[in-house]
Amino acid sequence: MDLTGRTALVTGANRGIGRALTEALAARPLARVLAGVRDPDRFDPLVPPPGGAAEVRAVALDLSTRASIDAGAADLAGVDLLVNNAGQFVGGLLEEQDTEAVYSMLQVNLVAVMHLTQRLLPGMIARRRGLVVNNTSIVGYAHMPAVTTYAASKAGVVAFSEALRRELRETGVEVMHVVTPGVKTNMLEETDEQYGRYADTSSWDRIEPREWAEKIVGAIESGDHILGPGGKTALAKLASRGPAAVLDAAAARMFSRQPR
């Protein structure tokens, strides 16, 4: 996608990958980069470098309910690039997971992705241009224990992305999903705390948010429809396409129902 003069929206733009993506896009010659956050007053202002975006602006976008998504989307006309980045994590044994937290996670990770895309898609189709980028996870492919509900949410995003990509053929609108590895964010710390009680996470790839954001923007500019995780994590994605026994053996090695 040629980003020149386009309008991009990044959800979950206040920190982590979302903030890094907003900064990376701000360095490109877009017309506008909209930083979707729950509270715009708490967004640290971002000044684009010379030759970068003409405007970077925080916009109110609460993904927690149907009504709040509709309210936020009403003020988002003209978005050419939608990056559904916002997410939550819940891990641990299924019977120990907080049910309210699971519902909240499914709302943000999956339902909001579909809902916000549905609201912004008609404008893209009318203009015959646009790109939807959805942030998934390696566990959306390699379904491991102690992340049952999180894996389900991300597998749903993979399915949604690929089904929608095929549905939009010949409309001028494309869909890409990114298979996120371990990125050094607050969410990875939560993952280490919750998932790490039952599995060894010491060998995971861990990259900086800025590095991953640059890879995502590069894939956007290249017109890719899937951005793989790279590194050792790529082996898990590959294994997910093979016999289930491969991932079964890996899970048996790393996971125990007894807390570490």
pLDDT number for residue 57: 97
Q: Please give the Cα distance from 1 to 233 (Å, whole number).
A: 27
Residue 228: φ, ψ to 5°: -75, 165
SS3 content of the chain, % helix, strand, coil (to 5): 45, 15, 35
- Please report the pLDDT score of residue 94 as a whole number: 96
State the residue for tokens 């089904």: 163
Chain mean position to CA 49: 25
Provide the b/e sequence for 207-245 (b: ≥16 CB within 10 Å). bebbebbbbbbebbeeebebbbbeeebeebbebbeeeee
How many other CB atoms are found less than 10 A from the CB of residue 7? 19
35-215-221-26 Cα dihedral, nearest 10 degrees: 30
Bridge partners for 82 per DSSP: 9, 132
Which residues are designated catalytic? 150
> Within 13 Å and on the Cβ side, how many CA atoms surround 131?
23
Residue 202 in contact with residue 250, Cβ under 8 Å? no
DSSP character string of 173-242: EEEEEEEE--BSSHHHHHHHHHGGGTB--TTS--B-HHHHHHHHHHHHHHT-SEE---TTHHHHHHHTTS
Residue of 128, 129, 133 lying closest to 116 (CA atoms): 133
Distance CA 154, CA 249 (A): 22
> Please, are residues 180 and 136 in contact by the beta-carbon 8 Å criterion?
yes
Q: Return the pLDDT at 186.
A: 75
**Distances in whole angstroms, Cα of residue 40 to Cα of each of 11, 49, 58, 74:** 12, 21, 5, 16
- CA-to-CA dists, residue 113 to 45, 57, 89, 196, angstroms: 25, 21, 15, 27
Report DSSP state, residue 87. -
Q: What is the pLDDT of residue 188?
A: 66
pLDDT by residue, tens only, the chain of 260 residues = 999 999 999 999 999 999 999 999 999 999 999 999 999 999 999 999 999 999 999 999 999 999 999 999 999 989 999 999 999 999 999 999 999 999 999 999 999 999 999 999 999 999 999 999 999 998 999 888 999 999 999 999 999 999 999 999 999 999 999 999 888 877 767 776 776 777 776 666 788 999 999 999 999 999 999 998 876 565 666 566 667 887 778 777 778 788 87
Separation CA 242–CA 50 (nearest Å): 47
Residue 38 and residue 62: Cα distance in Å, rounded? 5
